[in-house]
Amino acid sequence: MAPNLKTIGTYLLNVLLPRTCVHCALDLHYLEGQPLCPGCRGSLEPIPKPCCAVCGLPLDDGGRDCYDCRGAAPRALKLARSAFVFNAQLRSAVHAFKYRGRRDLSGFLAREMTLALDRYPELDAYNFSAAVPLHPARLRRRGFNQAELLARGLGARGNIFYLEGAAVRTRDTKSQTTLSKEERRVNMTGAFGVVKPELVKGRNILLVDDVATTLATLESLAAELKKAGARNVAAFTLAREP
Ligand SMILES: [Zn+2]
Ligand SMILES: [Zn+2]
121 alpha carbon to ligand 1 midpoint, in Å? 31
What value does the mean pLDDT take over residues 6-14? Answer: 64
- How close is the Cα of 27 to the center of ligand 1, in Å? 9
* Cα(25) to centroid(ligand 2), Å: 36
Please give the distance, rounded to the nearest whole angstrom, from the Cα atom of residue 158 to the centre of ligand 2: 26
Residue among 159, 144, 125 at smallest CA distance from 210:
144
User: Is the pLDDT at 220 greater than 90, yes or no?
Assistant: yes
Mean pLDDT of 67-96: 94
CA of 221 to the centre of ligand 1 (A): 35
Residue 192 vs residue 30, higher pLDDT: 192
Kindly state the percentage of the chain with pLDDT values over 90.
63
- Whether pLDDT at 1 is above 60: no
CA of 119 to the centre of ligand 2 (A): 18
Which of 3, 45, 78 minimizes the C-alpha distance to 241? 45
Cα(45) to centroid of ligand 1, in Å? 14
Give me ligand 2 centre to Cα 11, in Å: 46
Per-chain mean pLDDT for the chain? 89
**% residues pLDDT > 70 (the chain):** 91
Residues with CB under 5 A from ligand 2 (ion): 52, 54-55, 66, 69
Answer whether 82's CB lies under 8 Å from 206's CB. no
Lowest-pLDDT range of 180-184, 191-195, 214-218: 180-184
What does the pLDDT average to over 136-163? 89
Burial class (CB in 10 A: 0-12, 13-18, 19+), 88: exposed
Task: Report d(CA 38, CA 227) in Å as an integer.
Answer: 45
Cα separation, 37 vs 122, whole angstroms: 32
On whether the CB atoms of residues 77 and 224 are closer than 8 A, the answer is no
Asked whether the predicted pLDDT for residue 190 surpasses 90, the reply is no
Query: Looking at residue 158, what is its pLDDT?
Result: 66
pLDDT band for position 29 (cuts 50, 70, 90): confident
Q: How confident is the model at residue 30 (pLDDT cuts 50, 70, 90)?
A: low
CA nearest to 211, candidates 164, 146, 166: 146
Residue 2 has pLDDT above 70, yes or no: no
pTM over 0.85: yes
Find the 55 Cα to ligand 2 centroid distance in Å: 4
Counting ligands in written order, which one lies closest to the CA of residue 50? 2
Residue 77 is given by DSSP the state: E
Q: Which 8-state DSSP code applies to residue 123? A: G
> Cα of 39 to ligand 1 centre, how many Å?
6
Residues with CB under 5 A from ligand 1 (ion): 21, 23-24, 26, 37, 40
3-state SS assignment for residue 102: coil
Per the model's pLDDT, the better-predicted residue between 211 and 138 turns out to be 211
* Least distant ligand from the CA of 93: 1
Specify whether the CB–CB gap between 234 and 80 falls below 8 A.
Answer: yes
Of the candidates 111, 109, 106, 113, which has an alpha carbon nearest to the alpha carbon of residue 47?
113
Ligand 2 centroid to Cα of residue 224, in Å, is 21
Q: Which of 21-30, 78-87, 144-153, 207-216 has the lowest mean pLDDT?
A: 21-30
pLDDT digits (tens, 9 = 90+) for 103-119: 989 999 999 999 999 99
Query: Per-residue pLDDT averaged across 48-72, rounded?
Result: 88
Q: Which ligand is nearest to the CA of 25?
A: 1
Cα–ligand 2 centroid distance for 207 (angstroms):
17
pLDDT at 24 over 60: yes
Residue 65 forms beta bridges with which residues?
Answer: none
How many angstroms separate the CA atoms of 101 and 231, rounded?
Answer: 36
Q: Report yes or no: 225 and 76 within 8 Å, Cβ to Cβ.
A: yes
